[in-house]
């Protein structure tokens, strides 16, 4: 092995003197791009121990508390109160202060040959971490995934430093030298170079070494299992990261070994592996990104309600990492996936990490959909090739619309916040611009297929398909609308005009008089304020028509009939468990208009308890519609996109056992 400068030579001599060895086929050198690095001076076969780091040379919280024989302090101890208080929940803070202490000791520190080769506190550029960038550079990350963790990191470090310094100043000389800038430096060093305790330390050496200690001095093993502190491994930490895992970490009772799993060719750089990290994580934590798009992710954090959390956790597909509970509802958008094919399920969902769509589905589920998910814990909306057409049709449409809006918002925020940045003037800004562009590409890639899907659903002319509800739909079609349909108010009343013209004319005339609007009705205007009201009226009429001749209605309108039966069963289940749910879902003005329409539609039979049908119709209008953009098909605004409530009609329903002893079924039987 060879090396190029005296500080590096001194580091290796010190390391070797204390049991840390580097393979003779490994060279430490200064790379133009990656700085201090490792490379092979000869071809290195697999299973070679590249670096074998003795625990006696490591630096961490363990040295500060000196409860384990191999982790000596080599310096003045911190006060007992400082160690005891922070050891309960914040061992990492002790480790940071310990590194500051060793830096302040300079050449009197046991670790001086290691510390002087680290990026120094007075040179933030050498660390390269965005959290330490000047404000004019950091602004280039505004709006991206990197912005929130950078802000949180800075705030957290200040809180940690305050916790530590308050305790230190009580009875430790020289406490004033432990400044916040030094704490930022120490935290940055640990954050960018250290190794996780759980993957580095064999539990047996901790248990064996501390077993003879008094109880209050024993190391809390949970700190290791939960990675509440990390460890600096001199020399081993020189290895950089290229995103490819070709090494193994091998802890033993005395050493931590870095071993290659593949042949390393002569002259090539030797890389460590920091984990499966996205470019966002790499930039925030280490100050660099990897080329290519495989690691370009955009994070999406969801905040489901307690009810949605319980529903999601009831599903067999939901897995929580007990070591990272805060990541339970953190997901990411990817850019490297297969092309979208509409006739093979929702291929656009491949842009999102597993669990995102399932969680959003739980968040937007109505009462019927929650019941379905609770009855079917193994069901996965992400894997359902026929999700459009089944019980979750409305649900997945709403998920896609909300997701589309969220992605559009994130994209527009990056664009808007970057509009005034101009051209980059230094390396930090060039790195940030490249990262911004990558984030935008990920979002644009994911938005496009969702936009295409939503646009298709909202622009297909349904007026030409009205007759399908009178004769059913062919079962061998391949259209995504084959088993699912979005119905606008415009369409619903056009269907009524075609199927029941006399009734439809009377209803339209009543609406015209009530709203003081001329005939034919301009639905683009009416949907602005009367969505819910006229959906309720139409749904009430639909059920009254079926009440007149249920068998004939089913023959004439099989798709509506099947869907209506499913709605009856769902409502039955809801009011059986929650009788209070059988109420009016409308405000005072809506209720007055609904009652006016019902009383004056003389072409319909009026069963005695009309309020129950009215309440039922308001419930279906409330629960089974989705607000979405839709292209108007007729009238002055034909061709324009207008936001409105759309009714979701699915044609495929699982076989449920209909309990006829429930309240809604009993009511229907009593009048039918």
For position 275, which CATH number holds? 3.90.1410.10
Residue 585 covered by a domain: yes
Band of residue 463 on the pLDDT scale cut at 50, 70, 90: very low
In a shared domain, residues 586 and 648? yes
pLDDT in tens, 169-213: 998 989 999 999 999 999 999 999 999 999 999 877 777 655 555
In a shared domain, residues 511 and 653? yes
Please tell me the predicted confidence (pLDDT) of residue 211.
56
Based on the number of CB atoms within 10 Å of its own CB, is 239 exposed (0-12), middle (13-18) or buried (19 or more)?
buried
Residue 63 covered by a domain: no
In a shared domain, residues 202 and 260? no
pLDDT in tens, 395-421: 999 999 999 999 999 999 999 999 999
pLDDT in tens, 509-565: 999 999 999 999 999 999 999 999 999 999 999 999 999 999 999 999 998 999 999
In a shared domain, residues 539 and 597? yes
Domain containing residue 399:
298-459
Please tell me the predicted confidence (pLDDT) of residue 477.
39
Please tell me the predicted confidence (pLDDT) of residue 220.
84
In a shared domain, residues 533 and 627? yes
| Number of continuous H segments (helices) and E segments (strands) in the chain | 27, 16
3-state secondary structure 68-83: CCCCCCCCCCCCHHHH
What average pLDDT does range 619-646 have in this prediction?
93
Is the Cα dihedral 236, 238, 241, 246 positive or negative? negative
Look up residue 412 and give its two tokens. Answer: 């527009």
In a shared domain, residues 362 and 260? no
Residue 342 covered by a domain: yes
Q: What is the pTM of this model?
A: 0.86
Final residue before a domain boundary, out of 430, 459, 488: 459
Please tell me the predicted confidence (pLDDT) of residue 43.
97
- DSSP E strands: which ranges in 233-354? 240-241, 247-251, 255-260, 269-272, 298-301, 330-333
Please tell me the predicted confidence (pLDDT) of residue 534.
98
Residue 176 covered by a domain: yes
Is the Cα dihedral 474, 477, 483, 484 positive or negative? negative
In a shared domain, residues 318 and 348? yes
What span, in angstroms and rounded, lies between the C-alpha atoms of 671 and 649? 26
What average pLDDT does range 71-76 have in this prediction?
96
What span, in angstroms and rounded, lies between the C-alpha atoms of 258 and 50? 6
Residue 67 covered by a domain: no
Chain center to CA of 537: 40
Residue 35 covered by a domain: yes
In a shared domain, residues 436 and 547? no
In a shared domain, residues 442 and 481? no
Our count of domains for the chain comes to: 4
Final residue before a domain boundary, out of 407, 431, 459: 459
In a shared domain, residues 508 and 395? no
Residue 347 covered by a domain: yes
In a shared domain, residues 536 and 563? yes
Final residue before a domain boundary, out of 429, 459, 489: 459
Under DSSP, the state recorded for 315 is: S
Residue 398 covered by a domain: yes
In a shared domain, residues 664 and 530? yes
């Amino acid at each position: 092995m060879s090396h190029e400068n005296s500080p590096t030579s001194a580091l290796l001599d010190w390391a070797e003197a204390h049991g840390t060895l580097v393979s003779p086929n490994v060279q430490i050198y200064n790379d133009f791009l990656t700085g201090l690095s490792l490379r092979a001076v000869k071809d290195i076969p697999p299973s070679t121990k590249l670096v074998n780091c003795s625990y006696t040379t490591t630096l961490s919280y363990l040295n500060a508390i000196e409860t384990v024989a191999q982790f000596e302090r080599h310096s003045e101890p911190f006060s007992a109160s400082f160690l005891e208080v922070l050891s309960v929940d914040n061992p990492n803070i002790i480790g940071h202060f310990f590194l500051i202490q060793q830096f302040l000791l300079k050449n009197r520190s046991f670790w001086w040959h290691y510390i002087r080769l680290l990026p120094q506190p007075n040179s933030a550029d050498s660390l390269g971490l965005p959290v330490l960038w000047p404000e004019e550079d950091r602004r280039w990350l505004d709006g991206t995934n990197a912005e929130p963790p950078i802000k949180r990191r800075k705030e957290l470090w200040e809180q940690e430093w305050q916790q530590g310094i308050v305790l230190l100043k009580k009875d430790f000389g020289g406490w004033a030298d432990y400044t916040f800038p030094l704490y930022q430096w120490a935290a940055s060093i640990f954050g960018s170079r250290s190794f996780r305790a759980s993957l580095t330390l064999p539990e047996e050496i901790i248990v064996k070494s501390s077993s003879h200690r008094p109880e209050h001095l024993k190391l809390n093993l949970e700190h290791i299992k939960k990675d509440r502190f990390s460890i600096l491994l001199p020399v081993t930490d020189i290895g950089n990261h290229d995103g490819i895992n070709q090494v193994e970490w091998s802890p033993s009772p005395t050493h931590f070994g870095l071993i290659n799993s593949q042949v390393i060719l002569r002259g090539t750089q030797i890389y460590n592996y920091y984990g499966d990290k996205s470019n966002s994580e790499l930039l925030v934590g280490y100050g660099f990104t990897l080329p290519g798009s495989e690691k370009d992710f955009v994070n999406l954090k969801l905040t489901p309600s307690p009810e949605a959390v319980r529903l999601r956790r009831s599903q067999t597909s939901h897995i929580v990492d007990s070591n990272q509970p805060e990541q339970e509802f953190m997901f990411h958008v990817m850019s490297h996936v297969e092309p979208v094919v509409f006739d093979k399920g929702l291929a656009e969902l491949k842009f999102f990490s597993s669990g995102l769509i399932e969680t959003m589905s739980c968040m937007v589920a109505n009462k019927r959909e929650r019941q379905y998910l609770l009855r079917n814990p193994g069901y996965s909306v992400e894997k359902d090739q026929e999700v459009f057409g089944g019980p979750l049709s409305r649900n997945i449409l709403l998920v896609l619309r909300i997701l589309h809006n969220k992605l559009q918002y994130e994209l527009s925020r990056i664009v808007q916040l970057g509009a005034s940045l101009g051209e980059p003037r230094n390396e930090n800004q060039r790195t940030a611009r490249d990262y911004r562009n990558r984030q935008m590409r990920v979002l644009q890639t994911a938005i496009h297929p969702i936009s295409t899907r939503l646009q298709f659903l909202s622009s297909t002319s349904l007026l030409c398909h009205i007759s399908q509800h009178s004769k059913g739909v062919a079962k061998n079609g391949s259209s995504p609308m084959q088993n699912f349909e979005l119905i606008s108010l415009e369409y619903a009343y056009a269907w009524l005009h075609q199927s029941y013209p006399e009734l439809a004319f009377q209803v339209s005339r009543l609406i015209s008089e009530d709203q003081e609007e001329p005939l034919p009705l301009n639905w683009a205007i009416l949907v602005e304020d009367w969505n819910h009201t006229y959906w309720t009226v139409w749904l009430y009429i639909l059920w009254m028509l079926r009440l007149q001749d249920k068998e004939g209605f089913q023959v004439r309108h099989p798709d509506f009939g099947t869907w209506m039966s499913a709605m009856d069963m769902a409502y039955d289940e809801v009011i059986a468990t929650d009788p209070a749910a059988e109420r009016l879902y409308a405000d005072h003005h809506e209720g007055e208009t609904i009652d006016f329409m019902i009383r004056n539609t003389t072409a319909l039979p009026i069963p005695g308890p009309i309020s129950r049908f009215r309440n039922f119709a308001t419930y279906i209008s409330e629960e089974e519609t989705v607000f979405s953009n839709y292209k108007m098909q007729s009238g002055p605004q034909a061709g324009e996109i207008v936001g409105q409530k759309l009714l979701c009609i699915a044609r495929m329903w699982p076989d449920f056992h209909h309990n006829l002893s429930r309240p809604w079924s009993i009511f229907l039987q009593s009048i039918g």
